[in-house]
Chains A and B, each alone.
Chain A
Amino acid sequence: VKARLTDKRVIICAGSGGVGKTTTSAALAMGLAAEGKRVAVVTIDPARRLADALGLDDLGNEPHLVDPQRLAGHGIEVRGELWAMMLDPKRTFDELIARLAPDERARDEVLANRIYQQLSSAVAGSQEFTAVAKLYELDRSERFDVLVLDTPPSRNALDFLDAPERLTGFFEGRALRVFLAPTGLAARVVGRGTGVVSSVLKRLTGVDLLDDLSVFFRSLGGLLEGFRERAAGVKALLADERTTFIVITSPEHEPVEEAIFFAGKLRDADMPFGGLVVNRFHALDSGPPGADVAALTTALGDAKLAAKVARAYAEERTLAERDHAALEHLCRATGEANPIVIPQLDGDVHDVDGLVAIHRHLFAD
């Protein structure tokens, strides 16, 4: 992976959930830090043991320096600095509002709004949005040589790519302007508007909901300039030549289709596709197509055990054939000739040992 990351400042790891994205992101960051860079990795939802191993907690919403001693015992010498953080979407959103609000009153109005509370905590897309917002902020701080972002376990990779676009679109779009104009929908609905649309809406929704909505949009309206600037900045950052997207997958059907889809989206959007990492791969070794049960019986001294071993071998071969076919399909469909393949590891990968094992494969010469 080294050659692909030379001179990169922002590395975004994308892919569907459950493919080892968080561990891979952390391993990439650790490898770059070992080479002497100051690296920060932003994770969304790390396994507890990985979080503990990196000294992460959910307090702070800021990167922590990972104690190099934690890794030294595992043969990793960090010559640079490894920083890690766990993203708190709600808090990131609140901080963003606080930063962009022209005054305290505007800030409190947004933070107290029920629609905003729903938006910032539970709604699809808010994680994606806050992840890029945090990335942008860390980039601007210039505290790090490299940022590694572990993207949210979004089912649809598009949500992540589109987050800044959607936000800009929303704030520049007609909806808000029409809604907020002095004679706009909000004024008409909440006031004594008699327009057909507003009276139909009133009938459907009741006045309270529209009232909350209009307060929400109006108070966000005061933050509009800041939001617009930031969204443009985020968009530029994602498309920058020093930014790269690493698509991570396992050889299973759904993640592979998701990876192909995502690589295509990156190309369409002129975003830099930096390569594929295929985790949990069952390699087809040079062994025979089937086990020699007679020989195994002799070697193990147990016919029943030999039969079970033969069965396990047959299953391993089945998986290996499936994975090789998936890899071929993946390479053909994405035009990527040299994916980085990481074998299925026996143990749980959610600790420092797992991190080190993945790191070894990623940074192998």
Chain B
Amino acid sequence: VVTGKGGVGKTTVAGAVGLVAARRGLRTIVAEVARRDDVSRALGGEGIQEEELAPGLHHLSIDPEHAMELYLTDQLPSALADLLSSSRTFTYLAAATPGMRELLTVGKVWELAQEDRRAPGAEPYDLVVLDAPATGHGVAILTAPRTFARTARMGRIARQGRKIDAMVTDPARTGVIAVARPEEMPVTETLSLQDALRDEVGLEVGLVLANGVLPQRFSAAETRVLERAPDGHAVRAARHAGARARAQRAQLRRLRRGARAPVTTLPFVFDGDPMARLAHELERAL
């Protein structure tokens, strides 16, 4: 589960994690939740069907409505499934039920992760990388199965909710990567995500990736030289770069102090394909 505040490059990181896993020979799928398929666009894919974008690397944009149809088809005799799918009352009701989208999404993630896939003819995956929505909603996705299991208490949804919950809260099967930028807000949010995950889901963040780290190029002595140097385009650019890197360093320290998981840094990518570059860096770092 790759999560983090908006704007930290979560989708690129999720794609890079998928690339690394696929290169190591794991049959991998990157699944995303939002309605807009950013990973797929970045990797050149289309959408709501599982498709192979690179050797061993698959992609799926989870569409809750589509997941619902698949679920009903799986659970019920086809005539009944058709009846429910075409029942306007039922579809309205399902759409209006709070938390239903989250439940269907995580249910699909669970299905993708099964040895014995429920979807007819589907091959199992070794690794499912979930490009989860921004932090708050990401936690909501992970808590949805338990909430439904508790509310329903008994019956099929309760049983399945418990089963999905058992997977997402099992540290042997589910790992969480928190993506941050070394800036105030993303660091703060990452630190509070750790607590929310522990309190509400019972999971610990397994790895923190600080993304977009600028090169720390100038020593304190060099910074002083630059401050005194005659003004010019290049010197000004160097002073700005130094100041931004220093601000980042302060936030990185804060992140390292507060994080309960190892913190790995990923560089800011100035040019080229960021996903490929981050995959390369991840391979080196892990």
Q: Please, how many angstroms separate the alpha-carbon atoms of A255 and B34 in the complex?
A: 15
| A203 cross-chain contacts in B, Cβ below 8 A | 155-156
Whether A296 pairs with B234 at a CB distance below 8 angstroms is yes
Whether A185 pairs with B233 at a CB distance below 8 angstroms is no
Whether A174 pairs with B88 at a CB distance below 8 angstroms is yes
**Residue B154 CB within 8 A of the other chain:** yes
**Residue A187 CB within 8 A of the other chain:** no
**Residue A70 CB within 8 A of the other chain:** no
**Residue A308 CB within 8 A of the other chain:** yes
Q: Please, how many angstroms separate the alpha-carbon atoms of A344 and B97 in the complex?
A: 43
Whether B102 pairs with A196 at a CB distance below 8 angstroms is no
**Residue A204 CB within 8 A of the other chain:** yes
| B241 cross-chain contacts in A, Cβ below 8 A | 312, 315-316
Whether B88 pairs with A347 at a CB distance below 8 angstroms is no
B contacts with A, residue count (CB < 8 A): 73
A contacts with B, residue count (CB < 8 A): 77
| B35 cross-chain contacts in A, Cβ below 8 A | 156
The interface stretch among B2-10, B51-59, B121-129, B170-178 is: B2-10
**Residue A361 CB within 8 A of the other chain:** no
CB interface residues, B 234-251, toward A, < 8 Å: 234-235, 237-238, 240-244, 247, 251
Q: Please, how many angstroms separate the alpha-carbon atoms of A154 and B36 in the complex?
A: 13
Q: Please, how many angstroms separate the alpha-carbon atoms of A10 and B99 in the complex?
A: 31
Q: Please, how many angstroms separate the alpha-carbon atoms of A314 and B34 in the complex?
A: 36
| B244 cross-chain contacts in A, Cβ below 8 A | 344, 346
Asked, given contacts A174-B89, A175-B89, whether A206 binds B156 with beta carbons under 8 Å apart, the answer is yes
Q: Please, how many angstroms separate the alpha-carbon atoms of A346 and B236 in the complex?
A: 11
Whether A204 pairs with B185 at a CB distance below 8 angstroms is no
Whether A175 pairs with B238 at a CB distance below 8 angstroms is no
Q: How many A-B residue pairs have CB under 8 A?
A: 210
Give the residue name and chain of the A residue nearest to B137 (CB).
Answer: A124
The interface stretch among B23-31, B75-83, B202-210, B278-286 is: B75-83
Asked, given contacts A197-B87, A255-B7, A312-B217, whether A318 binds B238 with beta carbons under 8 Å apart, the answer is no
Whether B133 pairs with A124 at a CB distance below 8 angstroms is yes
Highest count of chain A CB atoms <10 Å: which of B151, B157, B184:
B151
| B38 cross-chain contacts in A, Cβ below 8 A | 254
**Residue B143 CB within 8 A of the other chain:** yes
Q: Please, how many angstroms separate the alpha-carbon atoms of A119 and B147 in the complex?
A: 11
Give the residue name and chain of the A residue nearest to B87 (CB).
Answer: A197
| B8 cross-chain contacts in A, Cβ below 8 A | 18
Q: Please, how many angstroms separate the alpha-carbon atoms of A245 and B95 in the complex?
A: 29
Whether B92 pairs with A178 at a CB distance below 8 angstroms is yes
**Residue A205 CB within 8 A of the other chain:** yes
Q: Please, how many angstroms separate the alpha-carbon atoms of A309 and B183 in the complex?
A: 24
Whether B11 pairs with A313 at a CB distance below 8 angstroms is no
Whether B99 pairs with A348 at a CB distance below 8 angstroms is no
Whether A206 pairs with B157 at a CB distance below 8 angstroms is yes
Q: Please, how many angstroms separate the alpha-carbon atoms of A115 and B230 in the complex?
A: 65
Q: Give a binary string over A173-187; 1 marks a CB under 8 Å from any B CB, 0 the rest.
A: 111101100000100
Q: Closest 5 A-B residue pairs measured CB to CB?
A: A18-B7, A17-B6, A206-B155, A287-B233, A175-B92
- The 26 sampled A-B contact pairs (Cβ below 8 Å) are A18-B6, A115-B97, A122-B136, A124-B102, A153-B5, A156-B35, A173-B96, A175-B92, A179-B89, A204-B157, A206-B152, A209-B151, A209-B153, A212-B151, A252-B7, A254-B11, A292-B234, A299-B229, A305-B218, A305-B222, A305-B226, A308-B217, A308-B238, A309-B237, A312-B241, A350-B185
Which residues of B line the A interface, CB within 8 A? Answer: 5-8, 11, 34-36, 38, 75-76, 80, 83-84, 87-90, 92-93, 95-99, 101-102, 133-134, 136-137, 139-140, 143, 147-148, 150-158, 181, 183-186, 188, 217-218, 222, 225-226, 229-230, 232-235, 237-238, 240-244, 247, 251, 270-271
Beyond A16-B6, A197-B90, list 5 extra A-B contacts (CB 8 Å). A122-B99, A156-B35, A208-B154, A347-B243, A350-B185
